[in-house]
Structure formats: structure tokens, C-alpha cells
Structure 1
Amino acid sequence: MDKRENKTPEGRNVLDVPVNFFRSVRDTQPTEANLYNLLTSDKYRGRVERVRSEPNPEKQSALKKGLPAFTVSGTFPDSKADPLCYHSGLVCLDIDAKDNTDVEGFADFKEVAAKIPYIAYCARSVRGNGFFCIVPIKDPMKHCEHFDALAEAFAVSVTDAAGHGVKIDSSGRDVVRKRFVSFDPEPYINPCARVYTVTKERAQPHGTSTPEHDPAAVEALRILAQSYVEAGRGPETLRTLRIAANTCLQMETDDRTTLDVIRVVVAVCERGVDITETREVWLGIGSALAYEFGDPAGRAVFHALCQFYPRYSEEECDGLFSDLVSRGYTGVTIGTLFHHAKAAGVWGVSAREAFGEYDTSTDNEPVKHP
């Protein structure tokens, strides 16, 4: 093990993050574990060594599949990459011996890894023939773009004397990929590794900038959300909200996604519920709205949903949303918003069932029609 201190100068260990832990690769109900503890523990040494010493390939595979597993890139509800807001800020690179038979001195790859400033961890994989490396990345929302850049960098720059580059297994692009616990008596550890900033941008498929929606329904959603934002939190707030909601909910449209978002906005604003209480949730909801509705509808909804956060900042929300829109990110779907709305108790029945139709013809308190 590298003898340097296990923290950055700022007191932060990049490997000290929560991850999903599974009792076996078939386990569907993960618990939370600390990545640094998993990487530095010898708890599974005996089981890993049994895998490595088994000469029968089928028996070896069966032993391997019985090992616990974990997700290096974070904690993900239901083992799904959506939402991506629970990303650890780390990418795992698998470097298999079978893919690098032409690389001279491959068995000593850890010595090479120790010279690469952005590698935080390098150790033998379960079977003992290959290696896996962990790299901190700048932008978790661009996991795949960082991975692609790393794969290209290793192939071009991490070479032997004959110029053969190191090949990385493409499976690491999967954000929620499970990897088995392993053991290496002398891993390379650099918990204050440099953050990798390079990305390899991918061409966005045609027509995926934002999903198609009924333009009238989206405009109604924008009006609803903007009306609430402009109303503030005074005594007229709910009345303004209900006037806008009445217009939206009476629309004749088959755009169920937009109507469901309208329903969430109405429920959150009427009940004063903060569904953006952590930065991870905030990023996830913003990403989903940026992808689903873009500007200006997504921005208006984002502000409406963020307003109940105690330290809400209009400027900060605007800046984040602009950044998300500019990225054209498509990895977080609107299901992220519905997931957090359900967790906050503002999801369950249709918009019209939940809120009815409001009489807004007088200044009296709105009345729900039977």
C-alpha cells in the first residue's frame, strides 16, 4: 500500500464515498457501504484466493459469481442509473489481461499506474490476471464522456516500448455496473489523486435534444410555474396558482407527461413541500427538466419546485439550469422528478382527481366543483 496520507491537503479522501453493496451479483436489494473501506479491507481475502486457485474455469466462474459486489460510481436507487444524482464522482476502469496480450510488461501495470496523477486506486482484479483502476472525474453528469476520454488516453499515451497502448474494457461506461470485491496485498492508493477533467463529447442523436410534447400543454405548464414564481409567498400565492392550474387542467390533450408534471407542480406549491433538499436531488431534478422541456418551460418549473428550499437562490438556480441546458444531457429522464415527488408524498393520483376544477370568477376562496 502507498504510504502517503489517506487525505487530500483539504482533508478529503476521494475514495471516501458511499456506494451500493450487494451480498452477491444477483442481489437486488443493496445496502450502503464505504468505498475506501471496501478497497482496503482483507475481509474477503480467503474467498478471492479460492477463486484464483480454482483450475476449473466453470467452477472458478461459479465461485466468482458468489462474491459480494459493489458499484464504484455511487449509490443508485433500484440499481438504475436514473437518477444519476447519486454519482460518487468516480469512474472504474477494467483492464483485462486477455485484451492486452500484446502489451509488454503488463503484469507490472501497477508501477505504470503509480505514475499517472489522476489514478486514485489500482489493484488486481478477482481472478488476479487483470487490474482495475479508479479515477476521480470533474463532472459526474458526463460519466460516459469522461470514460471515453480515458479509454482513448490509455490507448494512445499509456504504451509499452513498442508503442502498444493499454485497452480498457468498455463495460465501465455503465454507470451502475457492479464489480466484485477483490484483494491485492499491495494496491496502489493515491486518495489525493488529481481530478480528471477531459471529456470526449459524443454527437447527440438526431431528434434527442428534447422529447416531443404538445406545445399548448407545455406553454400551459410554463404559465403555471411562472405564475407561482412571480406570486411569491404572499396571501395571493395560492389563488394565483389555482387560476393557472385551472387553465392547465381543463386542457384537452393527450400529453400525459406534461399533465403529470403540472400535477406535481400544483401539489408541491399548494403543500409547500421542498423536494430539492439535497444537492444531489437538486441536480437530478434540474437535469430531468432541462432534458424533458428545455427553456423556458423547464426553467420555470425548476424555479417553482426549488422555492421551498430554505436557502433558495434565483441566481444560483438560473446558473445551474443554463449549464444543464447547454450540455444537452440526455441521461436523466423525467422519471427522476416523479421519483422524488413520490418520495415526498406528492404523487399518487391524477391531476384532476387530486385538485378538481376551481371556480376563479370571484375573489372568494376557490371552490372545488363536484
Structure 2
Amino acid sequence: MLCFAAETGGEKGHVAQATAAFEWPRFSYFRGGIRSAAPYAAVTPHQLWQVVHSPRFAAATAWLRQAPAGSEQRDERKKALDYVTPAGTFAPTRANGNLQTPSGLLVLDFDHLPDVTAARATLLSDVLLQPGLVLLFTSPGGEGLKVLLEADPAASHLDNFQALASYLAGRYGPELQPDSCGKDVARACFVCHDADAWLNPRFGG
């Protein structure tokens, strides 16, 4: 059974203090792969980081990466992974019209990067992006990045995505462009293993 550590209790004072002053964003977690449309739980960025950082999905991630890149076999293995909807909680199923509570976050998928390590360093050091970066980890296939960011609460999900994509295009060109599917509010973000996953300390890391 998948268990998530509580955000309060057992975490040494600083998390409890932060919780009192900051309401953690929450989004839906789905077990059993992309064909599971009903959410299993609502989780926080810290809880997702715990899952990604832990060895829970290490074997599944290694197994996926053994399949040839771009193959149907790899795609099917990815679809079997658990996933989240960073934009918020959904009910009764994941669908654009079923958003219950927005999280204030969005996810950017960077696929087929020529140098994942360099791209990671670039995003983490970008002075405009960095204050809003929440969570960053290597994608299941090992050739991309998943990046959760805080969104402008006064703008729509689509406007936020387009603004970020436009900024990245202007600053870094086509080498660092997010997948256009990120404009979908119900966008699924697959969970995998990354021992070096990065979490903004403001979110309980």
C-alpha cells in the first residue's frame, strides 16, 4: 500500500511552523497507470518529492529505460506508472472539466533534451524562474525533465503556460521548449525515481 508521510508531526518543528503560515498546494495522485482515471489521494509537492526521491519506483524506472527510446514497449511501460495532475485535484475522474480545487501550480515537460544535466542547471539558475520553481526531477525515460512551478493566480492555466513557454523560447530557443500538451489543465505527470530530485525548501524539503 502506498503511504504518504504527514506534513505535520514527525517532521521536526520547522515543517509544523511552516504549515501554520503556508497552505500547501495539493493535487491528485493516481495509482495503477494512465488507465486509472479515478484519483487515489490528494498530495503535496513535498509528498510527491518523497515518492520520487525514495527507491519505490527505482525498479520500474530502470525497467522502462531498458526498452528502446521511442519504442511502443517503452511507451506502454511508462503508461503503467502512477501519475499526478499538478494543476489541482480532480473528481470523480481526470478530465479538463473535472477540476475541483486548483493547486496554483503547473507542470512543464521537457522531452528529448540533448543534455539533461545542463538543462537542469539552467532552469535552477534562471533568476526569473527560480523563485517560482517548486519541484524538478528527471522524467521516466531519463531524457527529459518534469518541472512544477507556481502559476500566476490572476491568469488562466493556458495563459500561464503560454507565458512561460514564450519566455523560455525567447531566452533559450528551441533547445529548451516544454511539450505543448502542458497547456492542458488535466495534464498527467508520470511518477518515477530520481534520487537527485530537487524540491524548493519553502515546500517542506
TM-score normalised by the chain length of structure 2: 0.75
Which residue, out of 33, 45, 52, partners 1:24?
A: 33
Q: Tell me by how many angstroms 1:39 deviates.
A: 2.5
- The answer to whether residue 99 in structure 2 is matched with residue 114 in structure 1 is no
Query: Is the CA contact 1:113–1:122 (under 8 Å) kept in the aligned structure 2?
Result: no
The residue correspondences of 1:206-217 to structure 2 (distance < 5 A) are none
List per-residue Cα deviations over 1:181-235 (Å, max 9, x = no partner): 1121112211438xxxxxxxxxxxxxxxxxxxxxxxxxxxxxxxxxxxxxxxxxx
Cα distance in 2 for residues equivalent to 1:164 and 1:184? 25
The residue correspondences of 1:103-142 to structure 2 (distance < 5 A) are 105-115=115-125, 116-139=130-153, 142=156
Identity %: 25
Structure with the larger RCO, 1 or 2 (CA within 8 Å, 6+ apart): 2
- The answer to whether residue 105 in structure 2 is matched with residue 90 in structure 1 is yes
Hey, what does 1:48 align to over in structure 2?
A: 61
Q: Tell me by how many angstroms 1:47 deviates.
A: 0.7
Gaps of 5+ in 1: 194-370
Hey, what does 2:10 align to over in structure 1?
A: none
Hey, what does 1:211 align to over in structure 2?
A: none
Query: Is the CA contact 1:89–1:137 (under 8 Å) kept in the aligned structure 2?
Result: yes
Larger radius of gyration between Structure 1 and Structure 2? 1
Cα distance in 2 for residues equivalent to 1:176 and 1:164? 25
Cα distance in 1 for residues equivalent to 2:168 and 2:137? 17
Task: Give the residue type in structure 2 aligned to 1:22.
Answer: R
Which residue, out of 76, 81, 86, partners 1:72?
A: 86
Higher fraction of helix: 1
Q: Tell me by how many angstroms 1:146 deviates.
A: 0.6
- Quickly say closer, same or farther: Cα 1:85–1:65, change in 2 above 3 A: closer
Q: Which moved more, 1:115-124 or 1:56-65?
A: 56-65
TM-score normalised by the chain length of structure 1: 0.44
Hey, what does 1:210 align to over in structure 2?
A: none
Residue 37 of structure 1 aligns to a residue in which SS?
A: helix
Which residue, out of 38, 41, 53, partners 2:48?
A: 38
C-alpha root-mean-square deviation of aligned residues, in Å? 2.7
Query: Is the CA contact 1:20–1:74 (under 8 Å) kept in the aligned structure 2?
Result: no
Q: Tell me by how many angstroms 1:9 deviates.
A: 9.5
Q: Tell me by how many angstroms 1:83 deviates.
A: 4.9
List per-residue Cα deviations over 1:248-271 (Å, max 9, x = no partner): xxxxxxxxxxxxxxxxxxxxxxxx
Cα distance in 1 for residues equivalent to 2:29 and 2:154? 16
List per-residue Cα deviations over 1:257-315 (Å, max 9, x = no partner): xxxxxxxxxxxxxxxxxxxxxxxxxxxxxxxxxxxxxxxxxxxxxxxxxxxxxxxxxxx
Hey, what does 1:237 align to over in structure 2?
A: none
In the alignment of these two chains, the number of paired residues is 179
Q: Tell me by how many angstroms 1:53 deviates.
A: 2.4
The residue correspondences of 1:134-153 to structure 2 (distance < 5 A) are 134-139=148-153, 142-153=156-167
The residue correspondences of 1:235-254 to structure 2 (distance < 5 A) are none
Cα distance in 1 for residues equivalent to 2:36 and 2:62? 22
Higher fraction of strand: 2
- Quickly say closer, same or farther: Cα 1:54–1:80, change in 2 above 3 A: closer
List per-residue Cα deviations over 1:81-127 (Å, max 9, x = no partner): 22544111100000112xx55xxx55322212222222111110010
